[in-house]
Amino acid sequence: MFTGIVECMGTVLDVREARGVKRLRIATPWPSDGVKVGDSISVDVACLTVVEAGEGYFSAEVVRETVSRTTLGRLRRGDKVNLERALRLGEGLGGHIVLGHVDGVGRIVEREEREEGAIFEISLESGLMKYLAPRGSVAVDGVSLTVLDVRDNVFSVSIIPHTLSVTTFGLKRRGDLVNVEVDVLARYLERLTSGRSEGLTFEKLREMGF
């Protein structure tokens, strides 16, 4: 489990593929004992398992399904990625609960610069939009964000200057693709309310701001 509070940006050092499995080698500022084989790392929100670790880098493998459902298959040498190590027992939950399971790939349709940061508008497949609501949580490329607005198949988020400087959002432009994980609590709420013809429904919860 992760929190959506990015620890650092990593740099893709190498991408190799064998029998449909991509192997990424990523440079990090973490010390040699900061990552070990078997650890779970959020790479642009996708949970990957470390298969090799050394001084200033780790390697992880990406299976075919993850490649097809995320942007990881598009990574090339030199690309930057957002990294977060799995939450450890006793650590605080700074963002929101992030599982590292990418639900869909969104596209940045607008970036508006403001004094207090930048507003990003992101399009997403219509089937996932029901899990998004103003003031709700969403993880985009591993960053825990609060939804500003939702309309049709587009949602907007605000990124403060600090987040722009320490994550890949500072590099993002209109047309770029991003990994999106909707709030797992929204999924559970839908499951709890599905099939009920009256009373509390997922739509009513959205109207109430949940």
| Domain stops at, among 85, 116, 132 | 85
The number of C-alpha atoms within 13 Å of 49 and in the hemisphere containing its C-beta is 4
Q: CA-to-CA distance for 196 and 160, rounded, in angstroms?
A: 40
Instruction: Establish if 170 belongs to a structural domain.
Output: yes
Specify if 93 maps to a domain: no
Model confidence, pTM? 0.87
Is residue 197 predicted with pLDDT exceeding 50? no
The C-alpha atoms of residue 167 and residue 37 are separated, in whole angstroms, by: 25
The CATH number linked to 136 is: 2.40.30.20
Report the number of distinct structural domains present in the chain. Answer: 2
Q: Are residues 73 and 112 in the same domain?
A: no
* Structure confidence by residue, pLDDT tens digits, 30-73: 988 899 999 999 999 999 999 999 999 999 999 999 999 999 99
> 24 and 68 in one domain?
yes
The answer to whether the beta carbons of residues 1 and 99 sit under 8 Å apart is yes
Whether 113 and 191 share a structural domain: yes
User: Are 123 and 194 in a shared domain?
Assistant: yes
Residue 53 in any domain: the answer is yes
Same domain for 63 and 129, yes or no, is no
Tell me, yes or no, whether 193 and 120 share the same domain. Answer: yes
Contact present, 50 and 34 (Cβ < 8 Å):
no
Q: What pLDDT was estimated at residue 203?
A: 61
Last residue of a domain, one of 40, 56, 85: 85
Last residue of a domain, one of 38, 54, 85: 85
Mean pLDDT of the chain, nearest integer: 90
Whether 162 is covered by a domain: the verdict is yes
Residue 15 belongs to what domain range? 8-85
Q: What are phi and psi of 93, to 5 degrees?
A: -95, 95
E runs forming strands in the chain: 8-18, 21-27, 40-43, 46-54, 57-62, 80-85, 104-114, 117-123, 137-140, 143-151, 154-159, 177-182
What value does the mean pLDDT take over residues 144-163? 96
Flag whether 96 is in a domain. no
Give the span between the Cα atoms of 180 and 150, in whole angstroms: 15
Same-domain check for residues 79 and 112: no
Residue 121: count of CB within 10 angstroms of its CB = 19
105 has pLDDT over 90: yes
